[in-house]
């Protein structure tokens, strides 16, 4: 599977994401929105966005690995947060967690602020698309 980052010079330089990721070959894994649920189905760390973000990353990693891939195979993430302001205020901490799972690689990403999640205690949910080697 080949992966090429696409950042056109006609767009503002991306920071913390890439405008596009072009892939050839491989299998496509569509990842359901992952919240901060643990194995018991309960939200980890109610009220703590950073701890919930880390649990979400663990969940995404588990899905990618169960399909035979790694987090670096994820090419697209949609991040849904309860509070954009809370997310923006914690960018450094969230970035540290992102780098622990992705290194210096950034998928194509979008951020959405939403009114509510299925589980009331959830502060973040992330869905993704990965392209795995054949």
- The 10s digit of each residue's pLDDT in 70-110 is 999 999 999 999 999 999 999 999 999 999 999 999 999 99
- The 10s digit of each residue's pLDDT in 2-37 is 899 999 999 999 988 999 999 999 999 999 999 999
Is 71 part of a structural domain of the chain?
yes
Return the DSSP state at 11. Answer: S
Say if residue 15 is exposed, middle or buried (CB neighbours under 10 Å; 0-12, 13-18, 19+): exposed
Tell me which of 16 and 50 has the higher pLDDT: 50
Q: Judge if pTM exceeds 0.85.
A: yes
Domain count, the chain: 1
Nearest to 106 by CA among 11, 13, 41: 13
Structural domain boundaries, residue 75: 2-6+29-132
CB neighbour list of residue 117: distance below 8 Å, 6 or more residues apart: 35, 80, 82, 123, 125
Q: What is the CATH number of the domain that holds 37?
A: 3.30.1330.40
Is 22 part of a structural domain of the chain?
no
pLDDT class of 1 with cuts at 50, 70, 90: confident
Is 124 part of a structural domain of the chain?
yes
| Beta strand pairing call for 108-113 and 74-81 | parallel
């Amino acid at each position: 599977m080949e992966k090429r980052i696409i950042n056109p010079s006609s767009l503002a330089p991306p920071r913390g994401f890439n405008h596009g990721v072009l892939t050839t070959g491989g299998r496509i894994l569509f990842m359901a929105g992952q919240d901060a649920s643990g194995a018991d189905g309960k939200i980890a760390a109610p009220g703590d966005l950073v701890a919930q973000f880390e649990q979400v990353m663990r969940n995404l990693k588990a899905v990618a690995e169960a399909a035979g891939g790694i987090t670096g195979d994820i090419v697209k993430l949609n991040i849904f947060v309860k509070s954009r302001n809370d997310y923006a205020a914690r960018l450094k901490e969230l970035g540290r967690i992102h780098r622990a799972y992705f290194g210096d690689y950034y998928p194509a990403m979008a951020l959405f602020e939403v009114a509510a999640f299925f589980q009331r205690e959830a502060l973040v949910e992330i869905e993704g698309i990965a392209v795995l080697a054949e």
